[in-house]
């Protein structure tokens, strides 16, 4: 990436890894260390918040310029020009995570044993920023994390179905963000940078039932933009047959504040109402919720198993 892009990211707290990757401490990791509050992924899926590494292998590359995205979008590129080795990215991401955490050791609010565990991450969220499926060696990257005993969450916008179809190593859990019920809203809210983005997302949803891993559809909900059309969302979810559905509120943070207003952030009660309506349409079970994250968990099964830490 160019030096200006790098400076912007570093100012925002990102630790740059090689030519196109980055690590950043999650808000909830800090909350876990300082105040013993966990993120919804721990509550829903059993992932230890303080041992989670949040990274991206395509930090300034994406196929969309979503209105609700918190990142700076002035330097988005669709293609990677210089591709780093997967093993290098994994090693350096772990090293950078430890560097970012080491300063918490002396904080009196932090339990020493918990800090020591945090210094040995065991889970990676391949999301953070950018579109990870644009990294051409993604399967190898996931495999490298698995070799080190990590569980992996891959979060994608679903516009690269051929990548998911050809992944030689699948993540432990695969998230697809579906933030529009139809093509009209998709184009206005997600602002695709590639042709046929909506059609490509449909192909991903059709592919999902054939992938041998746990799958999640995340509906990022923006008040005044995409919270209607429950029936159309239900059609998409029925097509994908995910293990879980996460209706989750847009959060008024970062550069999204230049595009949207705080009035666009739904309340948790509005997320509950959406989730209940969607559950009624799809037959999914309302399993859990986390109010401080404004998210609800719907599941295909009444008693889903949690992932191990």
pLDDT score recorded for residue 74: 62
The pLDDT score that the predictor gives to residue 265 is: 96
For the stretch 258-281, pLDDT in tens is: 999 999 999 999 999 999 999 999
Task: Tell me the DSSP string of 36-49.
Answer: ----HHHHHH---G
User: Is the whole-model pTM more than 0.75?
Assistant: yes
The structural architecture, per CATH, of the domain 3-299 is Alpha-Beta Barrel (3.20)
The pLDDT assigned to 309 comes to: 45
Q: Which residues of the chain have pLDDT under 50?
A: 309
Do the strands 21-23 and 52-56 form a parallel or antiparallel pair, or are they unpaired? antiparallel
Structural tokens at position 295: 């998210």
pLDDT of residue 76: 62
Q: What integer pLDDT is reported at residue 75 of this predicted model?
A: 55
Q: Whole-angstrom Cα distance, residue 79 to residue 187?
A: 21
Q: Taking the CB of residue 300, how many other CB atoms lie within 10 A of it?
A: 17
Condensed to tens digits (0 to 9), the pLDDT of residues 167-210 reads: 999 999 999 999 999 999 999 999 999 999 999 999 999 999 99
Query: Mean pLDDT of all residues in the chain?
Result: 94
């Amino acid at each position: 990436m160019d030096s200006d892009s790098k400076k912007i990211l570093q100012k925002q707290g990102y630790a740059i890894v090689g030519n196109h990757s980055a690590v950043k401490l999650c808000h909830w990791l800090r909350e876990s260390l300082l105040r013993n509050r966990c993120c919804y992924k721990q509550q829903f899926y059993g992932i230890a918040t303080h041992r989670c590494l949040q990274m991206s292998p395509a930090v300034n590359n994406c196929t969309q310029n979503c209105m609700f995205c918190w990142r700076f979008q002035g330097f988005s590129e669709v293609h990677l020009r210089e591709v780093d080795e997967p093993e290098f990215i994994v090693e350096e991401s772990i090293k950078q995570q430890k560097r970012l955490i080491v300063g918490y050791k002396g904080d009196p609010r932090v339990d020493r044993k918990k800090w020591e565990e945090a210094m040995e991450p065991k889970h990676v969220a391949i999301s953070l920023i950018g579109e990870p499926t644009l990294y051409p060696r993604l399967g190898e990257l996931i495999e490298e994390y698995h070799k080190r005993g990590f569980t992996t969450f891959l979060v994608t916008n679903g516009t690269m179905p051929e990548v998911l179809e050809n992944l030689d190593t699948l993540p432990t859990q695969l998230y697809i963000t579906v933030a529009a019920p139809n093509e009209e809203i998709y184009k206005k809210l997600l602002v695709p940078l590639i042709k046929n983005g909506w059609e490509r997302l449909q192909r991903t949803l059709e592919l999902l039932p054939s992938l041998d891993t746990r799958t999640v559809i995340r509906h990022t909900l923006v008040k005044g933009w995409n919270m209607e059309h429950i029936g159309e969302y239900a059609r998409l979810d029925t097509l994908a047959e995910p293990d879980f559905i996460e209706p989750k509120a847009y959060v008024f943070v970062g550069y999204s504040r230049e595009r949207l207003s705080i009035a666009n952030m739904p309340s948790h009660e509005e997320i509950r109402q959406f989730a209940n309506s969607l559950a009624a349409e799809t037959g999914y079970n309302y399993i859990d919720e986390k109010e401080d994250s404004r998210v609800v968990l719907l599941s295909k099964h009444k008693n889903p198993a949690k992932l191990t830490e």
